Amino acid sequence: SSGETKGIFTPKFEDYQKVYNEVAKLLEEKDDYDDGSYGPVLVRLAWHASGTFDKETGTGGSNGATMRFAPEGDHGANAGLKAARDFLEPVKEKFPWISYSDLWILSGVCAIQEMQGPTIPYRPGRVDKEVAACTPDGRLPDASQGNKHLRDIFYRMGFNDQEIVALSGAHALGRCHTDRSGFDGPWTFSPTVVTNEYYNLLLKEKWTWKKWNGPKQYEDKTSKSLMMLPTDMALISDKSFKPWVEKYAKDNDLFFKDFSAVITKLFELGVPFAESSEKYTFKPTNA
């Protein structure tokens, strides 16, 4: 049970599970958004909060939730993520003891698990920072670029080639919006379920440039309703990335195992956890 010692509330596992359950409940209720779920945009919020990390300076990362402030919230890469932050505002009001930075990551974990993804271990301990801690623009990937850019961005966070490919499988989820990134469409036919379909489609479909006035993106020849970004296609044109695309396409269990490990690492970049901090495993509401 929750500890209330001399007026200082010390949240325990059960308290975080309550926050998880609240986010899961809202995901279920607010099903009139996009493809029927806020899940994908919650995952993107957690990723963009974390993906600013720079291992050389120790700056950025999920500790701080500095995207709350205009200098970072207004970065082009973060366009549209206000929808995710606003979705979580009632949760923050109900559980004011949780920091925004812990809440955003917990919500990403919840969204992945509720969309039938793997179990993602979670540790709390992030503290919100002030506007001065906002990261400079340009730390998140630019979809119009290729393999060198992917390595520049993800090596800066401390990831290797296998981890870059495993993280990219998140594009099984969600879609691009013309009023956000300028790109358009989903990567898979099941954008609210975590699967290895992204890798299967990358390998099995024939991808051609989409003929339109928007930014350069690919479309599948068969249905012309799916899309790939130039950075997605770099995963099959690069000889070190491609074997991992092939492995994950063949083996969903391997993808789930590696995705869980790598997204846990992403979500914890630069967070100064206490030595004694425990990893929590939340129960999915549909299990």
CB of 115 within 8 A of CB of 192? yes
Gyration radius of the chain's alpha carbons: 19
Judged by beta carbon, residue 91 or residue 266, the one nearer ligand DDH is 266
Q: Nearest distance from residue 15's CB to ligand DDH, in Å?
A: 26
CB of 215 within 8 A of CB of 183? yes
Query: Which residue from 61, 174, 185, 270 is in contact with ligand DDH, where contact means CB under 6 A?
Result: 174
Alpha-carbon gap, residue 274 to 256, rounded angstroms? 28
Judged by beta carbon, residue 156 or residue 177, the one nearer ligand DDH is 177
**Residue 181 binds ligand DDH (CB under 6 A):** yes
Q: Is 187 a catalytic residue?
A: yes
**Residue 41 binds ligand DDH (CB under 6 A):** yes
**Residue 167 binds ligand DDH (CB under 6 A):** yes
Distances (CA, A) of 67 to 41, 77, 162, 267: 14, 11, 28, 15
**Residue 85 binds ligand DDH (CB under 6 A):** no
DSSP string, 99-134: -HHHHHHHHHHHHHHHTT-----B--------GGGP
Q: Is 75 a catalytic residue?
A: no
**Residue 150 binds ligand DDH (CB under 6 A):** yes
Query: Which residue from 19, 23, 115, 143 is in contact with ligand DDH, where contact means CB under 6 A?
Result: 143
The one catalytic residue among 48, 104, 171, 207: 48
**Residue 80 binds ligand DDH (CB under 6 A):** yes
Judged by beta carbon, residue 181 or residue 260, the one nearer ligand DDH is 181
User: For residue 9, how many C-alpha atoms fall within 13 Å in the half-sphere facing its CB?
Assistant: 9
Residues 6+ apart with CB under 8 A from 185: 175, 176, 217, 219, 225, 226, 227
The one catalytic residue among 47, 104, 187, 244: 187
Size of the site for ligand DDH (CB under 6 A): 24
Judged by beta carbon, residue 27 or residue 170, the one nearer ligand DDH is 170
Smallest CA-to-CA distance from 198 within 243, 143, 255, 152 is with 255
Query: Could you tell me which stretch among 21-29, 37-45, 91-99, 242-250 binds ligand DDH (CB under 6 A)?
Result: 37-45
Query: Which residue from 15, 23, 24, 47 is in contact with ligand DDH, where contact means CB under 6 A?
Result: 47
The residues in 221-240 that bind ligand DDH, with binding defined as CB under 6 A, are 229, 231
Distances (CA, A) of 181 to 105, 152, 168, 233: 22, 21, 17, 17
Judged by beta carbon, residue 68 or residue 139, the one nearer ligand DDH is 139
Phi first, then psi, for residue 144 (nearest 5°) are -85, 0
Alpha-carbon gap, residue 282 to 107, rounded angstroms? 11
Smallest CA-to-CA distance from 226 within 250, 246, 208 is with 208
Chain contacts with ligand DDH (rule: CB under 6 A): 40-41, 43-44, 47, 80, 141, 143, 150, 167-168, 170-171, 173-177, 180-181, 183, 229, 231, 263
Residues tagged active-site: 48, 187
